[in-house]
Amino acid sequence: MNYAQAFAQYEADLAANGEEKEALAYVFNDWKSWSRLDFILHQSREIPEADLRQLDRITKLLKQHIPAQYITGKAYFADLTLAVDERVLIPRPETEELVNLILEENPDKSLTVLDIGTGSGAIAVALAKTRTSWQISASDISKEALLLAQDNAKSNQATITFLHSDVFSQISDKYDIIVSNPPYIAFEDRNEVGQNVLLHEPHLALFAENDGLAVYQKIAEGVAEHLNAGGKIYLEIGYKQGNLVSELFRNYFSDKRIRLLRDSFGKDRMVVIDDG
């Protein structure tokens, strides 16, 4: 049996169980340290027994709805390699768009930044690596998530101050930029979440009370006293929450500009509050 035949067999098994067959090659290539070209060049070659056993092992894990990134222990985000496990959400491409927006709109001069609900540290580390003059702090309600975020900062040589805090409960400083990708899925929308997410990613970082708006409410209530003059707020939101989050912050910032921006898929994804 060659590689192409083996993959066809195991991919069919995954597809029959409702899993994405592409995840098999993703995990296998990571295990082999193969590039996409390496993978293509091996398709007609006889597959060794050890590789066949590994394919079987990976397939069994994927059929348990374990995300591919948790199997490899890493995720790729904004040119970074980040460690991930079930303590944190897997960083999404939409969040890269939020990072890119912040970088595009803010010049490389000394600014203070707070990332609320940092999780793996993806946003904070990406900003710290690109804007070395910024003083970046990152907070999370989960001590376990903060431990992993600290590891990611260290492995990527990013200087970040980490804080254990439920939104602003343990924070006293003011910042030029406050960014957050908080839990925003309503409990009633659990049926919209894939099995691999629902079974393995941390619910504390996924779901929020009040139709998914609870953490935005906390941020809106406390952010003014933690924002420097001329400061900006950047938020990632659920695709159904654009108007709700915009109106929520308009109640607290009637004198500021509030922008609702879409992601590359055309869905409402970011709310920005600034002076315009």
pLDDT single digits (tens) 35-73 = 999 999 999 999 999 999 999 999 999 999 999 999 999
Other residues' Cβ atoms within 10 Å of the Cβ of residue 236: 23
188 — pLDDT class (breaks 50, 70, 90): confident
For the ranges 17-31, 181-195, 238-252, the lowest mean pLDDT is seen at 181-195
Listed in sequence order, the DSSP H helices in 17-155 are: 22-32, 36-41, 49-63, 68-72, 93-105, 122-130, 143-155
How confident is the model at residue 212, as a pLDDT? 85
Burial 132-156 (b: 16+ CB within 10 A, else e): eebbbbbbbbbeebbebbeebbeeb
pTM for this prediction? 0.93
Residue 271 has pLDDT above 80, yes or no: yes
What is the residue-averaged pLDDT of the chain?
94
Mean pLDDT confidence for 68-93: 96
> How far is Cα 177 from Cα 196, in angstroms, rounded to an integer?
33
> What are the backbone dihedrals phi and psi of residue 16, each rounded to the nearest 5 degrees, phi first?
-65, -20
Residues constituting the chain: 276
Does domain 76-274 match CATH 3.40.50.150?
A: yes
How confident is the model at residue 183, as a pLDDT? 86
> How far is Cα 260 from Cα 118, in angstroms, rounded to an integer?
22
Residue 202 has pLDDT above 90, yes or no: no
Q: Which of 139, 182, 189, 138 minimizes the C-alpha distance to 160?
A: 138
- Dihedral sign computed on CA atoms, order 36, 37, 38, 43: positive
**What single-letter DSSP state applies at residue 242?**
H
**What single-letter DSSP state applies at residue 224?**
G
Mean pLDDT confidence for 156-164: 98
Domain ranges of the chain: 3-64, 76-274
Residue 194 has pLDDT above 80, yes or no: no
